[in-house]
Amino acid sequence: MDPAPDARVTLDPENWDEFRALAHQMIDDTVDYLQNVRNRPAWRPMPAEVRDSFRGSVPQEGMGAAAAYADFKERILPYPNGNIHPRFWGWVQGTGTPLGMMAEMLAAAMNPHMAGFNQAPALVEQQVVRWVAELMGYPENSSGVLVAGGTIANILGLAVARHAKCGFDVRQDGLQGSGNHAKLLVYGSTETHNWVFKGLEFMGLGRAAFRSVPVNPDYEIDLAALRKMLERDKAAGHLPICIIGSAGTVNTGATDNLESLAEIAREHNTWFHVDGAFGAWARISGRLKSLVAGLERSDSIGLDLHKWIYLPFECACVLVRDADLHQAAFASTASYLAVADRGVMAGGIPFANLGLDLTRGFKALKVWMAFKVHGIAHIARVIEQNVGDVQYLVERIRQTEELELLAPVPLNIACFRYVRAGQTDEVLNRLNQEILLRVQEQGIAIPSGTTLNGKFAIRVANTNHRTRREDFDALLEAVTRLGREV
Ligand SMILES: *Cc1c(COP(=O)(O)O)cnc(C)c1O
Average pLDDT over residues 453-461: 98
Average pLDDT over residues 357-376: 98
| Residue 150 alpha carbon to ligand 1 centre in Å | 5
What's residue 248's pLDDT?
98
pLDDT tens digits along 159-204: 999 999 999 999 999 998 867 789 999 999 999 999 999 999 999 9
Instruction: State the closest ligand 1 atom to the C-alpha of 154, by its place in the atom list counted from 1.
Output: 10
* Residue 1 confidence (pLDDT) above 60: no
Average pLDDT over residues 20-24: 98
pLDDT tens digits along 300-337: 999 999 999 999 999 999 999 999 999 999 998 888 88
CA dist 342 → 123, 283, 333, 337, 348 (Å): 17, 41, 18, 14, 10
Q: What are φ and ψ of residue 41, in 5° steps?
A: -65, 155
Instruction: State the closest ligand 1 atom to the C-alpha of 152, by its place in the atom list counted from 1.
Output: 9
pLDDT band at residue 348 under the 50/70/90 scheme = confident
* CA gap 185, 210 in Å, rounded: 6
* Residue 484 confidence (pLDDT) above 60: yes
Between residues 6 and 212, the one the model is more confident about: 212
Closest by CA to 6, choosing from 205, 14, 87, is: 14
* Residue 210 confidence (pLDDT) above 90: yes
* CA gap 402, 51 in Å, rounded: 38
- For residue 404, whether the previous peptide bond is cis, meaning omega lies within 30 degrees of 0, is no
Per the prediction, the chain carries an average pLDDT of 96
pLDDT band at residue 412 under the 50/70/90 scheme = very high
At a CB cut-off of 8 Å and minimum separation 6, what does 102 contact?
369
Average pLDDT over residues 281-297: 98
pLDDT band at residue 6 under the 50/70/90 scheme = confident
What's residue 180's pLDDT?
78
Domain boundaries, the chain: 103-374, 377-485
Average pLDDT over residues 68-84: 97
| Residue 75 alpha carbon to ligand 1 centre in Å | 30
What's residue 297's pLDDT?
98
| Residue 317 alpha carbon to ligand 1 centre in Å | 11
CATH fold for the domain made of 103-374:
Aspartate Aminotransferase; domain 2 (3.40.640)
Instruction: State the closest ligand 1 atom to the C-alpha of 195, by its place in the atom list counted from 1.
Output: 10
* Residue 385 confidence (pLDDT) above 90: yes
pLDDT tens digits along 131-150: 999 999 999 999 999 999 99
Q: What are φ and ψ of residue 458, in 5° steps?
A: -85, 125
* Residue 126 confidence (pLDDT) above 70: yes
| Residue 346 alpha carbon to ligand 1 centre in Å | 35
Q: Of 304, 306, 460, which is best to mutate to test ligand 1, by the most ligand atoms within 8 angstroms of its C-beta?
A: 304
* Residue 5 confidence (pLDDT) above 80: no
Average pLDDT over residues 73-88: 97
| Residue 89 alpha carbon to ligand 1 centre in Å | 15
Average pLDDT over residues 54-58: 94
| Residue 114 alpha carbon to ligand 1 centre in Å | 23
Average pLDDT over residues 353-378: 98
Share of the chain above pLDDT 90, in %: 93
What's residue 97's pLDDT?
98
Question: Considering the domain 377-485 in this protein, what is its CATH number?
Answer: 3.90.1150.170
In eight-state DSSP terms, residue 88 is B
Average pLDDT over residues 21-30: 98
* Residue 3 confidence (pLDDT) above 70: no
Q: Is this prediction's pTM over 0.95?
A: yes
Angle, vertex CA 259, rays to CA 248 and CA 309, nearest 5: 30
Closest by CA to 385, choosing from 119, 176, 86, 122, is: 86
Residues in contact with ligand 1 by the CB-under-6-Å rule are 92, 149-151, 154, 193, 195, 248, 250, 275, 277-278, 304, 316
Collapsing DSSP to helix, strand or coil, 293 comes out as coil
What's residue 2's pLDDT?
65
CA dist 218 → 252, 382, 406, 424, 458 (Å): 9, 25, 11, 24, 18
